[in-house]
Amino acid sequence: MNTKPFTSGPGENAVVITRVADRQWHALDDDLVVGRGHAQHRPDGRLFVSIDAWHDATFDRLAEAMLAQLPAPLHTVVDEADTGLTAGWRRAGFTVRRREWEYAVPTDPQLTGLGAVLPPAGVTIVPAGRTDVTLLRAVDRAIRDEVEASVGWQSMPVEVISHPEGDTIVDPSKYAVAAAPDRYLGLIRVVRAKRPRIGLLAVRAGEQRRGIARALLAHALGTLHRSGSAAAWTEVQESNDAARALFEGVGARRLSSNLELVR
């Protein structure tokens, strides 16, 4: 444990920054917790920080203490609408790395226009829970390698994690795939927690522009519609024109945006 006292305002009350655990900090004002900081390694190896503080001065002192004790680079994610929080991280030297739009996607084929969409000739859609895990891991690894060789896996959403060699799929039951006779060509992952969420939609580079992604999306949304879900949610990087066009083309409605900041 270590502490760092400072005066926090006109009243000259001593606010003390205390590292209460390996990656946790508290800001204390006369034994009252007036701010908290936290650091966590995500599964992709990146270190993310967060701060919850009552006042800007407390935020800045927490940031100062944390940044002095943590290795760079550091990342954080904020709701772009939270201008105060965004400004705090900018004061701490963070800059915008990426912007992601959150969309609500209707599932009703009458709204999406996907009711009659079929995969291209020679391609079939294998529903979630029926995939061959070996082939699923192979297509996931191939897509990851293609991304890494082009824009780099670090360009992918924070949520899309990179696992050790040979362990690229956490839960195979969440994936539907587009299948050729001898291999899988693309995949879609839908997570059903508080609300259904499309976490990944990807097609092998050599198979793109054939309508496979659209067919996978039609299958996933149709399945959700039949199970009673009126909408799904997804995030799309602002610079991904193809993905934005795909989702907006089926009636997806933009709800908000998140910023990933880096220092």
Determine the structural domain holding residue 13 and report its residue range.
3-99
Q: Is the pLDDT of residue 5 over 80?
A: no
Give pLDDT tens digits for 133-147.
999 999 999 998 888
Answer yes or no: is pLDDT of 150 > 90: no
**Is 131's pLDDT higher than 80?**
yes
Average pLDDT for the chain: 88
Flag whether 212 is in a domain: yes
Q: Which two tokens stand for residue 61?
A: 């002192």
Backbone angles phi, psi at 52, to 5 degrees: -125, 110
Q: Is the pLDDT of residue 239 over 90?
A: no
Examine the pLDDT at 187 and tell me if it is beyond 60: yes
3-state DSSP call for residue 116?
coil
Residues paired with 233 in a beta bridge: 104, 197
Domain tally, the chain: 2
In this prediction, residue 9 carries a pLDDT of 45
pLDDT (0 to 100) of residue 155: 56
Cβ neighbours of residue 25 closer than 8 Å, sequence gap 6 or more: 17, 18, 19, 36, 37, 38, 62, 65, 66
Q: Residue 10: its pLDDT value, please?
A: 39
Residue 263 lies in a domain: no
Q: What is the pLDDT of residue 1?
A: 46
Is 93 in the same domain as 161?
no
CATH of the domain at 176: 3.40.630.30
b/e per residue 116-126 (b: at least 16 CB within 10 A): ebebeeebebb
Q: Give the residue from 46, 65, 99 where a domain finishes.
A: 99
Domain boundary among 77, 99, 121: 99
What phi and psi values does residue 86 have, to the nearest 5 degrees?
Answer: -60, -45
In which residue are the tokens 């900018």 written? 90
* Residue 158, pLDDT above cutoff 90: no
Q: What is the pLDDT of residues 41-69, one digit of tens each?
A: 876 678 999 999 989 999 999 999 999 99
Tell me the C-alpha distance between 248 and 112, whole Å: 10
Q: Averaged over 186-197, what is the pLDDT? A: 91
Query: Is 121 inside a domain boundary?
Result: yes
Helices (H), 70-173: 83-91, 109-112, 133-149
pLDDT digits (tens, 9 = 90+) for 70-120: 999 999 999 999 999 999 999 999 999 989 999 999 999 999 999 999 999
Q: Are 246 and 214 in contact (CB under 8 A)?
A: yes
Q: Is the pTM of this model over 0.85?
A: no
User: Cβ distance 164 to 186 under 8 Å?
Assistant: no
Extended strands (E) in 142-205: 175-179, 184-192, 196-203
Q: Give the pLDDT confidence score for residue 107 in this predicted structure.
A: 98
User: Is cis: bond before 10, omega within 30 of 0?
Assistant: no
> Is 35 in the same domain as 89?
yes
Tokens of 211: 């309508």
Using 50, 70 and 90 to split pLDDT, how confident is the model at 11? Answer: very low
The whole-angstrom separation of Cα 123 and Cα 181 is: 8
Inform me whether the pLDDT recorded for 24 exceeds 90. Answer: yes
pLDDT confidence bin for 8, thresholds 50/70/90: very low
